[in-house]
Structure 1
Amino acid sequence: MVEAALGRYGRLDGVLVASGSNHVAPITEMAVEDFDAVMDANVRGAWLVCRAAGRVLLEQGQGGSVVLVSSVRGGLGNAAGYSAYCPSKAGTDLLAKTLAAEWGGHGIRVNALAPTVFRSAVTEWMFTDDPKGRATREAMLARIPLRRFAEPEDFVGALIYLLSDASSFYTGQVMYLDGGYTAC
């Protein structure tokens, strides 16, 4: 991925690390292989992309910005059946903070963008007429003060801010994109 960007653009200025995998099951029923798959996608995958991108950004010597997609679940964790997903996204948050400290002296900013639910392959089940999906969707909406889920435009706006010079003094942070969900 990093090599493809370099081949196309000749340099690297900003990086979006978006990995999302989940397996919902009580911890007592979750197979170790399912736990490992979530950790591999959400933590190891992000770490590998950051390592490759960091090497390029450091070599270029002109700063840059890295944004890791996390989740409100990385900070809250209060979701039964998410014993793999929540810790994996907490790992994403801490990876952003660690790399911000490690690369900050080189002008490279690293942050995490932590949305609540927005429509994606991971959450599509919530937007069906399935009773479990409907119940989950309604319970989530009841906790969001803005009474709506994030739209792709919301995500893009936050991402543009984090990748641009408008956030030049913003690093090592987890930006919650949640309509007030974490305020309640």
Structure 2
Amino acid sequence: MNVMQNPLSMFDVKDNVALITGASGAFGMVAARILAGAGAKLVLVAGNQAALDEISEECRGMGADVTAINTRPTDEAICADLVAQAVKAYGQLDILVVASGMNKVALINDMPPEDFNAVMDANVTQTWLLSRAAAGQMKEQGKGGKIVLVSSARGLLGHPAGYTAYCTSKSATDGLTKALGCELGPTGITVNAIAPTVFRSPLTAWMFEDTPEATKVRDGFLSRVPKGRLGEPEDLAGPLLFLASKASDFYTGHILYADGGYTAG
């Protein structure tokens, strides 16, 4: 009854320890700001030192306790060490947000196999390794936990312009989310994914510009978006806080599409 008297308490992540990989990327930076503002303790991981320093200082300026680690989760040992460093710094791990990944765009006959494999490794294998390391620690703690993966609307829908590697990797992320949700459900660990469509970021900034090329591409895309606009970073705040908090305790193996209705039609 106390929860129902104060429903906002279900979204409380104050003093929870969150490990965020890809923290210097578009989604990772949003996740860091959201969880910092909500009072979580952060372990921010990124390969770009300058961008990592920038987001770390920004979060500290919001009052968050931040540990910054300049690396990429490229193998089993690194992934295990990231979890160990989170525990060493703060005594526990409550939330994992896997926002690291990559894309290489080319038509199938123009894409070298090594590029396809690189995308699959960054988006699938490394996500699996991070989830594996975090789940082991969360099981040991015995209090459950929250694993949030980053998928894409492209995990559900194809794309005509050279996205065979990316779409395949995000479909695999969706499958991993569902399989882990089933496997870890009995332990109290929830595994869910946020699947955005086009959001404002350094990589997509050109689509928001008032140029003939951008207008043509944007108008074509928006013709399929019921909300009639592209995504903004703040559109990810509610879904992430929901999936990282007790509010989502009964939700696992779920793909949450942050897409303005794009995949609904």
TM-score, normalization by structure 2:
0.65
Is 1:94 the equivalent of 2:160? no
Give the unaligned 5+ runs of structure 2. Answer: 1-81
**For residue 148 of structure 1, what is the amino acid of its counterpart?**
R
Q: 1:35 matched to which residue of 2?
A: 116
Q: 1:80 matched to which residue of 2?
A: 161
> 2:182 & 2:229 partners in 1: Cα distance?
35
**For residue 36 of structure 1, what is the amino acid of its counterpart?**
N
The verdict on how the C-alpha distance between 1:53 and 1:139 changes in structure 2, with shifts beyond 3 A counting, is: same
Structure with the greater alpha carbon radius of gyration: 2
Pairwise mapping of residues 134-153 of structure 1 onto structure 2 (< 5 A)? 134-153=215-234
SS in 1 for 2:109: coil
> 2:251 & 2:147 partners in 1: Cα distance?
11
The worse-fitting range, judged by mean Cα deviation, of 147-156 and 171-180 is 147-156
Q: 1:181 matched to which residue of 2?
A: 262
The verdict on how the C-alpha distance between 1:130 and 1:2 changes in structure 2, with shifts beyond 3 A counting, is: farther
**For residue 149 of structure 1, what is the amino acid of its counterpart?**
L
Q: 1:163 matched to which residue of 2?
A: 244
Is 1:154 the equivalent of 2:239? no
> 2:138 & 2:156 partners in 1: Cα distance?
28
**For residue 151 of structure 1, what is the amino acid of its counterpart?**
E
Q: 1:49 matched to which residue of 2?
A: 130
RMSD, aligned CA: 1.8
The worse-fitting range, judged by mean Cα deviation, of 89-98 and 5-14 is 5-14
**For residue 194 of structure 2, what is the amino acid of its counterpart?**
L
Q: 2:199 matched to which residue of 1?
A: 118
The verdict on how the C-alpha distance between 1:122 and 1:43 changes in structure 2, with shifts beyond 3 A counting, is: farther
The verdict on how the C-alpha distance between 1:138 and 1:2 changes in structure 2, with shifts beyond 3 A counting, is: farther
Q: 2:31 matched to which residue of 1?
A: none
Q: 1:18 matched to which residue of 2?
A: 99
**For residue 48 of structure 1, what is the amino acid of its counterpart?**
L
**For residue 231 of structure 2, what is the amino acid of its counterpart?**
A
Contact 1:73 1:79 (8 Å CA) reproduced: no
Report the alpha carbon displacement of residue 157 of structure 1 after superposing the two structures with TM.
Answer: 1.3
SS in 2 for 1:101: helix
Q: 2:15 matched to which residue of 1?
A: none
Contact 1:22 1:122 (8 Å CA) reproduced: no
Q: 1:6 matched to which residue of 2?
A: 87
Contact 1:66 1:111 (8 Å CA) reproduced: yes
TM-score, normalization by structure 1:
0.91
The verdict on how the C-alpha distance between 1:129 and 1:22 changes in structure 2, with shifts beyond 3 A counting, is: farther
Choose between structure 1 and 2 for higher RCO, CA contacts under 8 A separated by at least 6 residues. Answer: 1
Q: How many residues align?
A: 184
